[in-house]
């Protein structure tokens, strides 16, 4: 009598055990992968269904003297003369929950008269006292930050000084002229 050798059918408990084992492996891998993505987890996970009590999304915010769009009315009070500057103290605040790197990304001359803008320079430096700040003037049109960006911690407010100057060589023809400008401050998240 030959005994027929047949494969014994797999028992049901064994298959289930293997499936659970695979699922566990996937879960571990997913956990490890998310662990490595750090803060981006929040953004990515913003639409995920997670426990809000433990994981919340961050935010970014930036203000100048308390406003997202600040009007430099103090410049209107005094008039520029060759070699002279008007200085405005600015409090730039990181109102978000993320570290921000702050720079001036661009300046646009919106309107002018007497060709004044060609002889106006701007300088923005971080300084607590504008009276002793060292300015590095550059042409107003297209003015951007050339120095290393300033990093603001979440909730931090830093004092800056903006100097608007008229070149010493400004001709007499620019007398009485004006130049309206808009300066954009850009803040980028840093880790």
Partner 1 sequence: MIRHRTAIAIGTAAFIVLAGTGVGNAFWSTQASMSGTANAGTIGVATAGFPALSINYTATALAVSAPVTVTNSGTVWAPFSLTLGVTAATPLANGSVVKTWPVAAATACTPTTIAPPSATTSSWVDVPALTGTLEPGASATYCVRSSITALQQSTIAGTNLSAALSVTSSVGNWIASATSSAAQAVLDSTSPSTPGAPVASATTATGTSLAWTASTDNVAVTGYDLYRDGVRLVTVAGTAFTDSGLTAATTYRYTIVARDAAGNVSAVSTGTNVVTSSAPVLFDPALWYSVGVGGSVGTASGVCIESGPNPVNGDVLTVATCGGSTKSGWKVVAVGGYYTVVSRRAPTLVWDITGASLAENAPAQLSSSTGATSQQWQVTQTSPGIYQFVNRNSGKCLAAPTSGALRQQTCGSASALPFIMTPVS
Residue with token string 């600015």: 90
Site string for partner 1, 102-141 (x = CB under 8 A): ---x----x---x-xx--x-------------------x-
Minimum distance of partner 1 from residue 53's CB (angstroms)? 21
Nearest to partner 1 of 37, 56 (CB atom): 37
**Of 8, 22, 131, 148, the one binding partner 1 by CB under 8 A:** 22
Phi, psi dihedral angles at 88 (to 5 degrees)? -120, 125
Number of residues in contact with partner 1 under rule CB under 8 A: 81
Nearest to partner 1 of 68, 147 (CB atom): 68
Minimum distance of partner 1 from residue 127's CB (angstroms)? 17
Minimum distance of partner 1 from residue 4's CB (angstroms)? 25
What single DSSP character describes residue 67?
A: B
Minimum distance of partner 1 from residue 3's CB (angstroms)? 27
Report the candidate in 87, 164, 172 with the shortest Cα–Cα distance to residue 120: 164
For 11-47, give one letter per residue: b (16+ CB within 10 A) or e: eeeeeeeeeeeeeeeeeeeeeeeeeeeeeebbeeeee
Maximum alpha-carbon separation in the chain? 123
> What is each CA distance from 165 to 61, 76, 120, in whole angstroms?
30, 13, 6
Question: Pairing state of beta strands 150-152 and 138-139?
Answer: unpaired
From the list 1-9, 126-134, 150-158, 180-188, the region that binds partner 1 by CB under 8 A is: 180-188
* Residue list 48-87, contact with partner 1 (CB under 8 A): 58, 60-64, 67-76, 78-84, 86
Nearest to partner 1 of 2, 11 (CB atom): 11
3-class SS of residue 109: strand
Nearest to partner 1 of 147, 173 (CB atom): 173
Distance of CA 53 to the CA centre of its chain: 27
């Amino acid at each position: 009598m030959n005994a027929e050798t047949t494969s014994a059918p797999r028992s049901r408990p064994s298959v289930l055990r293997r499936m659970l084992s695979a699922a566990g492996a996937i879960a571990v891998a997913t956990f490890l992968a998310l662990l490595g993505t750090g803060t981006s987890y929040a953004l990515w996970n913003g639409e995920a269904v997670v426990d809000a009590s433990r994981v919340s999304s961050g935010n970014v915010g930036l203000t100048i003297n308390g406003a997202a769009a600040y009007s430099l009315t103090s410049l209107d009070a005094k008039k520029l003369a060759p070699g002279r500057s008007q200085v405005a103290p600015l409090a730039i605040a990181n109102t978000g929950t993320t570290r921000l790197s702050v720079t001036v990304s661009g300046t646009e001359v919106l309107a002018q008269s007497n060709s004044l803008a060609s002889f106006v320079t701007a300088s923005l430096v971080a300084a607590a006292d504008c009276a002793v700040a060292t300015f590095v003037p550059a042409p107003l049109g297209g003015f951007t930050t050339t120095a290393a960006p300033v990093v603001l911690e979440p909730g931090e407010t830093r004092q800056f000084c903006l100097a608007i100057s008229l070149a010493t060589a400004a001709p007499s023809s620019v007398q009485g002229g004006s130049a309206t400008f808009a300066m954009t401050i850009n803040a980028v998240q840093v880790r």
